[in-house]
Amino acid sequence: MTVPTRDAAAALDAADPLRRLRDAFALREGLMYLDGNSLGALPRATAARIADTVTREWGEGLITSWVDADWVGAPRRIGDKIARLLGATPGEVIVADSTSVNLFKALTAALSLRPGRSVILSERGNFPTDLYMMQGIAAFSGGRIRVEAVDADAVLDRLGDDVAVLLLTQVHYKSGRMRDMAAVTRRAHERGVLTVWDLSHSAGAVPVDLNGAGADFAVGCGYKFLNGGPGAPAFVYVAARHQGAAVPVLSGWFGHAAPFAFEDDYRPAAGIERFLCGTPPVLGLAALECGVDLMAQADMGEVRAKSVALGDLFVQAMDARCAGMGFTLVSPRDARSRGSHVSYAHAHGYEIIQAAKARGLIGDFRAPDILRFGLTPLYLRHVDMLDAVEVIRDICVTRAWDRPEYRERAAVT
């Protein structure tokens, strides 16, 4: 298949139904930002919203803003907006803490619903924090809980009567492989196993139908495809049918049935609020809401169609322009089982990513040898795919990556 010309790609951009959303982001001219799956771009509305939250709501309203500016309602209000993106019902999602902390909450809540079972199951090579949080729970349990991480393709066969909960990331952070949430959840439920889905690379990236899939628990990030800003608060989903029985182990006062009754004894809130822990991070919530509101303007079907088109175009261009240069596609070639990023292995992956940055192409590197390119349909264009591949090709042809300063590992990759 021949790669479309740059003019043909520009014509696709002109006809793109999501085109106007790009203008809602502050992106400097000439930048090819293929890293929105790691840190989403800045919505133009965010700076003014933060300024208003600081100067008016905080500066003038002071403590009255908890009620008057509805700070206290923000975790639930924004959670309800995220629920709509994920095929969940209002009251099933709340914004709180980090994804790591929410993993702890979801896993321990699931364990509380399966008291006779001892195994937390996941796949080897899952995102590190998912594995680490599992390991921390097991270490703390004094031997009651065991962790098993098996090969990705062996997960379903391992489901059994000793497994309490299965933790999987729907779109794998490295490969971009996308799991069939409904089919996996069905298989888990057949064996009495509860599911926790990590949606860090799904929320705002691919259509998700938590209720349709019968999912039990889910967590995900606010700062990736939801464009909530660095360190944005995360979200946790608990299916309505579990909320009454799932015991919150992080039993903080904001999850209490009556936080301002100041009782000595913990009583969990009736609904999703029991998965709050402490005081909500108001400034982070304000920024997150700007990103979520933008995402809500997009039709998820159009987002997915464009994500697939961008991914296919990128792979096609890499095939045509960078063949024989040492790249191996590690993402599924078939877009149906691929999320919204494309990854390649290359022996000099780290250096190539550094050299690309110097030329206005930002992707990221994931050890040991993966170059990862995020496809964010709200603000990327078809021409960016072709331009990015030309940058990569030029870096390889001229060996521009082969410089000592590009070999030095930074603290964050």
Ligand X SMILES: *Cc1c(COP(=O)(O)O)cnc(C)c1O
**Is residue 200 close enough to count as binding ligand X by CB under 6 A?**
yes
| Nearest distance, CB of residue 272 and ligand X, angstroms | 19
Cβ neighbourhood burial of 161 (10 Å; 0-12, 13-18, 19+): exposed
Stretch in the footprint of ligand X (CB under 6 A) among 96-104, 294-302, 331-339, 380-388:
96-104
98 token code pair: 């980090």
The single residue among 27, 45, 90, 100 that binds ligand X, judged by CB under 6 A, is: 100
The residue from 104, 127, 314, 327 that is catalytic is 127
357 tagged catalytic: no
In DSSP terms, 235 is beta-bridged to 95, 220
The single residue among 16, 80, 92, 198 that binds ligand X, judged by CB under 6 A, is: 198
49 tagged catalytic: no
Q: What is the biggest distance separating any 2 CA atoms in the chain, rounded to whole angstroms?
A: 70
235 tagged catalytic: no
φ/ψ of 21, rounded to 5, equals -70, -25
Stretch in the footprint of ligand X (CB under 6 A) among 53-61, 92-100, 339-347, 363-371:
92-100
Pick from 274, 277, 372: which is nearest to 330 by CA? 372
The single residue among 16, 35, 92, 130 that binds ligand X, judged by CB under 6 A, is: 130
The single residue among 76, 179, 201, 381 that binds ligand X, judged by CB under 6 A, is: 201
**Is residue 127 close enough to count as binding ligand X by CB under 6 A?**
yes
| Nearest distance, CB of residue 130 and ligand X, angstroms | 6
**Is residue 289 close enough to count as binding ligand X by CB under 6 A?**
no
Per CB under 6 A, contacts with ligand X among 226-245 are: 234
Cβ neighbourhood burial of 53 (10 Å; 0-12, 13-18, 19+): buried
Give the C-alpha separation, 383 to 6, whole Å. Answer: 6
Buried b (16+ CB within 10 A) or exposed e, 314-351: bbbbbeebbeeeebeebbbeebeebbbbbbbbbebbbb
Q: Which is nearer to ligand X, 65 or 126 (CB)?
A: 126
User: Residue 291 corresponds to which amino acid?
Assistant: G
| Nearest distance, CB of residue 199 and ligand X, angstroms | 8
Give the C-alpha separation, 18 to 339, whole Å. Answer: 18
Give the C-alpha separation, 36 to 227, whole Å. Answer: 8
| Nearest distance, CB of residue 234 and ligand X, angstroms | 6
Give the C-alpha separation, 194 to 110, whole Å. Answer: 7
Q: What is residue 136's three-state secondary structure?
A: helix
| Nearest distance, CB of residue 198 and ligand X, angstroms | 4
* β-pairing verdict for 32-33 and 361-362: parallel
The residue from 158, 174, 177, 224 that is catalytic is 224
| Nearest distance, CB of residue 101 and ligand X, angstroms | 7
197 CB-near residues (< 8 Å, 6+ apart): 168, 169, 170, 181, 210, 215, 217, 218, 219
User: Residue 59 corresponds to which amino acid?
Assistant: G
Q: Which is nearer to ligand X, 173 or 350 (CB)?
A: 173
Q: Which is nearer to ligand X, 192 or 231 (CB)?
A: 231
2 token code pair: 């021949």
**Is residue 136 close enough to count as binding ligand X by CB under 6 A?**
no
Per CB under 6 A, contacts with ligand X among 294-333 are: none
Q: Which is nearer to ligand X, 70 or 151 (CB)?
A: 151
Stretch in the footprint of ligand X (CB under 6 A) among 2-10, 79-87, 123-131, 263-271:
123-131
Residue 268: asked if its preceding bond is cis (omega within 30°), the reply is no
The residue from 33, 223, 327, 344 that is catalytic is 223
Q: Which is nearer to ligand X, 234 or 391 (CB)?
A: 234
**Residue 124 DSSP code:** T
Per CB under 6 A, contacts with ligand X among 43-72 are: none
Q: Which active-site residues does the annotation give?
A: 127, 198, 223-224, 372
Positions touching ligand X (CB under 6 A) are 98-100, 127, 129-130, 169, 173, 198, 200-201, 221, 234
